[in-house]
């Protein structure tokens, strides 16, 4: 079973992962040349939905619709939340489910991928100058900034 960090990228097609990695690299290179724009980009990253949030919102909406239809249109609609629950469980365990793969192709990133860009931008901005080797508190202060 892949690690939590690799759980979603592992079953994703390599061309999709490559496109996401290149987008991160392009962004970091851009902000190296335009450091004054980093604070705005960090705000955008803080607001960006990661793939987990998108999959959870999708599952919750479909389950809710299935229950409403089950109550109003017939019990057979209750299969929808059952299927969605199974796919959500599969995603939790394996990092794969049809909606996740579609969302990856649309460019949704994992929290780790978003954070990779965030930490690179903070390093460019100079947030980590005060980190002293062996001082975990200074690392936490810098990362939380």
Concatenating the DSSP letter of every residue in 17-29 gives HHHHHHHHHHHHH
Q: Has residue 4 been placed in a domain? A: no
Structural domain span for residue 94: 14-144
Q: Which two tokens stand for residue 5?
A: 């960090």
Q: Has residue 3 been placed in a domain? A: no
| 67-116 confidence digits (pLDDT tens) | 999 999 999 999 999 999 999 999 998 888 999 999 999 999 999 999 99
What is the rounded distance in angstroms from the CA atom of residue 84 to the CA atom of residue 97? 10
| Domains in the chain, number | 1
Could you write out the three-class secondary structure of 76-95?
HHHHHHHHHHHHHHHHHHHC
- Strand segments, DSSP code E, in 13-132 are none
| 3-33 confidence digits (pLDDT tens) | 878 889 999 999 999 999 999 999 999 999 9
Taking residues 130-145, report their average pLDDT.
69
């Amino acid at each position: 079973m892949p690690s939590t960090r690799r759980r979603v990228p592992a079953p994703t097609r390599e061309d999709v992962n490559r496109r996401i990695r290149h987008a991160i690299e392009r962004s970091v290179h851009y902000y190296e040349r335009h450091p004054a724009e980093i604070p705005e980009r960090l705000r955008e990253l803080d607001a960006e939905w990661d793939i987990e949030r998108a999959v959870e919102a999708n599952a919750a909406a479909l389950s809710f619709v299935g229950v409403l239809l089950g109550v109003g249109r017939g019990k057979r609609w209750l299969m929808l939340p059952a299927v969605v629950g199974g796919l959500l469980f599969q995603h939790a365990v394996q990092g794969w489910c049809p909606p996740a793969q579609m969302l990856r192709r649309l460019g949704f990133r994992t929290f780790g991928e978003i954070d990779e860009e965030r930490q690179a931008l903070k390093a460019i901005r100079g947030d980590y100058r005060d980190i002293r080797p062996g001082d975990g508190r200074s690392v936490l202060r810098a990362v939380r900034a």
